[in-house]
Amino acid sequence: MNTPVTPKDDAAHLLIVDDDNRIRSLLHRYLAGEGYRVSEAADAAEARRKLQTFAFDLVILDVMMPGETGFDLMRTTLGATELPVIMLTARGESDDRINGFELGADDYLTKPFEPRELALRIARALKRRGGTKTQWHSAVSFGAFVFDIEREELRNGPAVVRLTDRERTLLKTFSEQPGETIARHLLITDETKMSERTVDVQINRLRRKIEEDPANPRYLQTICGIGYRLMADPRD
């Protein structure tokens, strides 16, 4: 297994939209290992919310999803944007590919596929669009707190909250992907130098600094059996 890589602040931000949790998790791990920032959505509605809230550089979109399909999301939302879209499908019919391209997709990949092939197509699509990285929010707010990602500084109103290096690294990771569930193993990097148990301990310490009731966290939530997520305030 590859050593987890901490994405750079200016790394391209990808959105994976697929109802199959196994595929989302596999692609998330692989693409994060390639140095991308990665977010996930399990359906079109969740994808639409994230597209309205965060800045992305490319979307990986499954065609056959329950309810709204990938084609539907292209018609209602993605087709009107400049975002590169790579569509995934278990069906290889030419009509599906043509439909996707007519709706504005940049590329089409038939399942099953090698993650390496997807990574190459992502790099090609980003390069074709000029390789421009979208601007992403440099700070996140949650309640009375604001974390400045670039300065790695947490404030409670005008007061600076003192953080340890590990707490600062964890909070930066969560703040770069607000609302995203981040698995414990993805928090274990050369930078954090932590085991899964140490991650849990650092999370509890961080909660004591940002939560009114650390035993019932509102912002830094546990997702049972998976990891954690930071519930930030909505963007304007």
Query: pLDDT digit string (tens) for 129-166?
Result: 665 444 445 788 999 999 988 788 999 988 889 998 88
Structure confidence at residue 122 (pLDDT): 92
pTM beyond 0.75: the answer is: no
What count of residues does the chain have? 236
* Beta strands 85-89; 220-223: pairing state: unpaired
More confident site: 80 or 231: 231
Q: Are 215 and 167 in contact (CB under 8 A)?
A: no
- Measured in degrees and rounded to the nearest 5, phi and psi for residue 57 equal -105, -20
Fold category of 13-128 in CATH: Rossmann fold (3.40.50)
What are the structural domain ranges in the chain?
A: 13-128, 139-230
Q: What's the CATH class of domain 139-230?
A: mainly alpha
The label of the residue with tokens 């003192």 reads 162
Strands, E assignment, 100-157: 107-110, 139-142, 145-148, 153-156
* CA neighbor of 97 nearest in space, from 113, 86, 82: 86
